[in-house]
Chains A and B, each alone.
Chain A
C-alpha cells in the first residue's frame, strides 16, 4: 500500500460528505487492522482486482446513516432500506472514484451491502488492512482499506 492510495481513499470519502452535506468529515488517525472486527450496523464493500488486489469497505451506524439520509432526502422518517441504499451509494461513489483514478487495468466490483453487525468482514490475510476512523457530527464510522 502506498501513501497516495490511503490518501486517495480518505479524500474520496471526505469529498463525498462535503458534497452531500456541506460539512467536512473529520478523518482520524489511521491504524492497522488486527484480529478484532471493525463492523457497525451497515457495511458497503467493494472488491478490487486486476493489477492490484484488495477490498475496501465503509461501515456505519444506523443513526449516522439516518441523519445523513435525512439531509439528502429532506425527511426525518428514514427507513432501513434507505440506510442500506445510502451505504451502498457511498461505497459506489468510492468505487467510481477508484475506477476513475486507477484506470482500466483495475477491476472494481459492484458494491455489496451488509445489514447487521457481522462477526467480521473477511479480508485477505496476507495484505495489511488499514482502518480510518471517520467522524461526522457526533457519529463515528470506519473506512477499511486493504490493498496490495
Chain B
C-alpha cells in the first residue's frame, strides 16, 4: 500500500513537474509573445486598432495610435466620439454612416470604402486652453474582419501623412502664386528699380494715410471730410500707378476709388458701409507688399533686364494721354494734348518722379478747373477743344518745362476784375504797370496758395486734385524748384517750371 502510495506520489510529482515545466514554458512563451508584440507595437509607426460593431476601440492597439491621436487609454473609447472637435461635424456624421455600412455584409466592401471621409483628413489638436494649436493630416483605412462569414470587427490603421500633404499643399500654393507673381513681374519689369523703389515708398506712405483715416475717423461720425481725404489719397495712388504703367495696381486702386465714390453718393453713412472699401484697402496693401517682394528678388539681375529709357519716355506720354482721356470723359470736356515738344529723355534721373508728378498734377488741375465744356466754349466763339501743350528744355544748370493751355482762368479772372474795379474806384489807370505787376504776383500766389483760400465757399466738390497740387508744389520747393505764370496772349496761359540739377531735398 505504502509502495503504491509512494509510486502515486512520485507519479504525481513527475506529472506536476511536467505540468509546471509546461506552464512555465507557456508563461515564458506568453511573456516572449507579449514582449514581441510590445516591440512590434513600438516599432510600427502606424496606429493599428480593432473596432467592434459599436465602434469601440478594442484592447491591443499599437502604441503609435496614442501618439498619433495624442490621447492615452483608448481601449473601449468610442471611435466616433473621439473625432469630436478634431474634424468637422459633417465628417463625423459621414464617418458614422460609413462604419455602419462596413458592418453590413450585404454591401460590397470596396464600394463602401469610397465613402471613407478619413482617408485624408486634417486632424486638430487642442492645447490646455482649448485652442487648436496644431493640425496633422491623417489617413485612416478600415478593413473587415470575418469569422464564419460574419463581420465581427474592423481592423483599422492610421498613419500621419502630414509631411507629404503639407508639401503637396505648399506645391499647390507655390504654383498658384508663381502664376500670379509671373504676371506681376511682367507688369513691373519695364520700370526702373529706382523708380519702383520710390513708388513703393510713396504708396506706402499714402496707404498709411488711408489707414490712419480709417482708424481715427471724426468722432461725430461726420464722414464727408474723411471721404474727401480718402478720395484724394486714392487719386494720388492711381496717378502714380498709371505713371509707371502698373496696370494691376492701377486697376485695384480704381476699384478702391469706385468704392469711395459710392460712399460719397450715399446718405446717412454708417461704419458697415465702409466694409467693401476696407477689404479693397487690404488688397492694395497686400499687393504693394508683393511688389516690394518682387523688387527685392529683381534687384540682383535688374540691370540686365531693364528696359530702355526710350521706352520709359513713351510710357510717360502714354500714361499722361490716358489720364487726359479718362478725365475728359469724366468731365464731359474736349481736351487735346500736344507733347511733341517734350523730351522725356532729358529729364534728370533724380527728378524723374517729381517731373512726372508735376506734369500729372498740372494737367489734371487745368482740365478740372480751367477747362470749359465744349458748349461753353462754343458760346464764347472759341474752339470747343481745350489745348494743353507741354514742352521741355535743358540748360547747363536746370531742367525746364512749360505747360500751356487755352482754357479759362475763372478764379484768376475774378481777381483781375476785382483789382481793375479797385483801381478804377481809386481813380487809377487800368493799364498802370504797377498794378499789372501786382496782379502777376497775386495770380502766382493764387495758384500756389493753400486751396482752402482759393476754393469757393459754396463749392463742396473737392476731388482732391487741389490738395494734391499743394503737395506737389511743396515737393517742388523742397527741390529748390521755381514756377511762374506767363500770359502769352489773351487766349492762353503758360506755367513755367524750373528744376535745378543736383538739388535733392
Residues of chain A whose beta carbon lies under 8 Å from any beta carbon of chain B: 1-3, 6-7, 10, 26-32, 34, 45, 47, 49-51, 103-107, 109-110, 112, 128, 130, 132-133
How distant is the Cα of A45 from the Cα of B127 in the complex, in angstroms? 14
For the complex formed, measure the closest distance between the CB of A20 and the CB atoms of chain B, giving whole angstroms.
20
A107 touches which one: B93, B124, B214, B281 (CB < 8 A)?
A: B124
Q: Can you report 10 residue pairs joining A to B where beta carbons are below 8 Å apart?
A: A7-B275, A10-B271, A29-B271, A29-B274, A104-B90, A107-B89, A107-B124, A109-B85, A128-B282, A133-B271
Contact check, A29 vs B278: say whether CB atoms are below 8 A apart: yes
User: Provided the pairs A27-B270, A32-B285 are in contact, do residues A50 and B275 lie with their beta carbons within 8 angstroms?
Assistant: no
Residues in A with CB closer than 8 Å to B217 are 28-29
In the complex formed, the residue of B with least CB distance to A114 is: B129
Chain A min CB distance to B454 (Å) = 31
Complex alpha-carbon distance, A29 and B88, angstroms = 33
B272 interfacial by beta-carbon distance below 8 Å: yes
- Determine whether the beta carbon of B131 is less than 8 Å from that of A26: no
Q: Indicate with 1 or 0, residue by residue over B259-297, a CB within 8 angstroms of chain A CB atoms.
A: 000000000001110111011011001100000000000
Contacts of A7 in B (CB 8 A): 272, 275
B residues 74-98 with Cβ under 8 Å of A? Answer: 85, 87-91, 93
A3 touches B130 (CB 8 A): no
Say yes or no: A105 contacts B90, CB within 8 Å: yes
Most-contacted residue by chain B among A104, A106, A130 (CB, 10 A): A104
Instruction: List, in ascending order, chain B residues with CB within 8 A of A130's CB.
Output: 278, 282
Count of residues in B whose CB is under 8 Å from the partner chain: 30
Please determine whether A112 and B211 come into contact, CB atoms closer than 8 angstroms: no
| Cα of A110 to Cα of B126 in the assembled complex, Å | 11
- B215 part of interface (Cβ distance < 8 Å): yes
A10 to B276, CA, bound (A): 13
User: Taking each of B124, B270, B276, B278, which has the highest tally of chain A beta carbons within 10 Å of its own beta carbon?
Assistant: B278
Q: In the complex where A27-B272, A28-B217, A31-B214 touch, is A50 in contact with B88 (Cβ < 8 A)?
A: yes
Within the assembled complex, what's the spacing in Å between the Cα atoms of A46 and B424? 77
What residue of chain B has the Cβ atom nearest to residue A2's Cβ? Answer: B279
Complex contacts, B286 vs chain A, CB 8 Å: 128
Contact B275–A30 (Cβ < 8 Å): yes
Task: Report Cα–Cα, A109/B91, bound state, in Å.
Answer: 16
Q: How far is the CB of B272 from chain A (nearest CB, A)?
A: 6
Q: Is the CB of B278 within 8 A of A107?
A: no
| Interface pair B271/A28, CB less than 8 Å apart | yes
CB neighbours of B270 from chain A (8 A)? 26-27
Given A6-B279, A47-B132, answer yes or no on A106-B274 (Cβ-Cβ < 8 Å).
Answer: no
Q: Which residues of A contact B93 (CB under 8 A)?
A: 104
A31–B325 Cα distance when bound, in Å, is 34
- Taking CB atoms, residues of chain A closer than 8 Å to B278 are 6, 29-32, 130
Set of chain B residues within 8 Å of A47, measured between Cβ atoms: 131-132
Whole-angstrom CA separation of A49 from B135 in the bound complex: 10
- Please, how many angstroms separate the alpha-carbon atoms of A109 and B271 in the complex? 28
A127 to B89, CA, bound (A): 24
Which B residues touch A31, using CB under 8 A?
Answer: 211, 214-215, 278
Measured CA separation A94–B402 after assembly (Å) = 61
Q: Which residues does chain A contribute within 8 Å of B135, judged by CB atoms?
A: 49
Whether A3 pairs with B279 at a CB distance below 8 angstroms is: yes
Q: How far is it, in angstroms, between the C-alpha of A27 and the C-alpha of B270 when the chains are bound?
A: 7
Contacts of B281 in A (CB 8 A): 32
Query: In the complex, which residues of chain B have a beta carbon less than 8 angstroms from the beta carbon of A6?
Result: 275, 278-279
Q: How far is the CB of A138 from chain B (nearest CB, A)?
A: 12
B279-A107 in contact (CB<8A)? no
Q: How far is the CA of A3 from the CA of B87 in the complex (A)?
A: 27
- Roughly how many angstroms separate A61 CA and B364 CA in the complex, as a whole number? 49
**Shortest Cβ distance from B280 into A: residue:** A3
Interface centre among B85, B91, B271, B286, by most chain A C-beta atoms within 10 angstroms, is B271
- How many Å from the CB of B3 to the closest CB on chain A? 82
Q: A132: which B residues are within 8 A, CB to CB? A: 271
In the assembled complex, the Cα of A103 lies from the Cα of B85 at a distance in Å of 15
Asked if A105 and B271 sit within 8 Å, CB to CB, the answer is no
**Distance, CA A51 to CA B270, complexed state (A):** 31
- Distance of A32 Cα from B2 Cα, bound (Å): 104
Q: How far is the CA of A31 from the CA of B215 in the complex (A)?
A: 6
Most buried by B among A1, A45, A49, A133: A49
* B272 close to A1 (CB less than 8 A): no
Residues 119-148 of B at the A interface (beta carbon under 8 Å): 124, 126, 129-132, 135
Interchain CB contact under 8 A, B214 and A29: yes
A5 to chain B: closest CB distance in Å?
9
A21 to B: closest C-beta gap in Å: 19
Q: State A14–B124 Cα separation when bound (angstroms).
A: 31
Q: A29-B217, A31-B211 are in contact. Are A3 and B90 (CB under 8 A)?
A: no
Partner of B88, one of A2, A10, A51, A112: A51
**Nearest CB of chain A from residue B283's CB, rounded to whole Å:** 9
Q: Which residue of A lies closest to B275 (CB)?
A: A6
By a CB distance below 8 angstroms, the chain A residues around B130 are 109-110, 112
